[in-house]
A and B are shown apart, each in its own frame.
Chain A
Amino acid sequence: MKRNLLAEIMLGLGGLLTSAAFFMTFFWAAPSSYPDGRVDFAQKIFYFHVPVAEASFLVFIFTAFYGIKFLTTRERIYDTKARIATEVTLFFVLLTMATGILWTKVEWGVWWQWEPRLTTYFILTLLVIAYFVLRNSVEDEEKRAVYASAFGILAFIDAPISFFITRWLNSIHPVVFGAGNSSGLEPPMLITFIIAQVGMLMLGYAFYQLRLREEELKERLEALKIEIGD
């Protein structure tokens, strides 16, 4: 029962790092300012919005990865893993959306704008939700697993395409990293961000493992119940 030691360590460490990043965000990282010198307080959202968004992409990789593994091996555990990965993805996607919308309201003055990055992320959200709608509408267990794996793979390929298609449509969403050679962040800001990012990824891993453990327990319980029923 103690096989999930790593998950618990990651949970603790991730919690510690994100908490630290949270305090660093408000007490250490210098406030950002607009070009005209006014303080840009809403920029503080960035320190957690971006890590959560990155986590959603990274976890989504596992949906496709375990989808492929399931299709080639037909072992049920991989389908369960893919499903849990998608669940964690959905969790992060919703957090990204919520924080993003709040940031958008402050900086752009509107809650929502059909701007390329937002549009494509919205599509990603719909794809992740569709994955679960699909699962719920198939009764046969094997069919459900196969269809979900296939759709997970398709959705994972579609998501980056959605992102790249908007690259040359002008986006007003800020590009912090990868625009020019430096991120333009001062060291305290960058360090705060990196700590938040690493912590969030650890949390993502821990969430995935915890959910997996729950599923395993559920399965064992089912098996025991059948055994007793005999």
Chain B
Amino acid sequence: MGDLYAAVIPQAPYVIGAYGLIWLGLLGFVYLVFGRIGRLEKELRVLEESVKRRAQS
């Protein structure tokens, strides 16, 4: 078991770094895209409503 720790501990930062980057990248991508889609949809709704109102009046 001691051997295992001796091998794992010096390499751990790199492994953690690699997985950290991957998760950060994947989650960041999803977060950003969903944020932008949400904003666009909201804007679109507002505009569509104003178009409808204009058509009625």
A-side residues, CB < 8 A to B, are: 1, 11, 18, 22, 31, 38-42, 44-45, 48-49, 52, 91, 94-95, 98-99, 102-103, 105-106, 203, 207, 210-211, 213-214, 217-218, 220-221, 224-225, 227-228
Contact = CB atoms under 8 A, between A and B. Distances in A.
Contacts of A38: 3, 7
B11 A217 contact: no
Contact of B25 (A39, A41, A94, A217): A94
A102 B18 contact: yes
Describe A's contact surface by its main secondary structure.
Answer: helix
Given A38-B3, A94-B25, A207-B29, A221 B40 contact: yes
**Interface of B: prevailing SS:** helix
Contacts, number: 88
Interface of B: 3-4, 7-8, 11-12, 14-15, 17-19, 21-23, 25-26, 29-30, 33-34, 36-37, 40-41, 43-44, 47-48, 50-51, 54
Contacts of A49: 18
Contacts of B33: 207, 210-211, 214
B37 A213 contact: yes
B51 A40 contact: no
Contact of A48 (B3, B19, B40): B19
Contacts of B25: 91, 94-95, 98
B44 A22 contact: no
Given A22-B19, A94-B25, A99-B21, A224 B11 contact: no
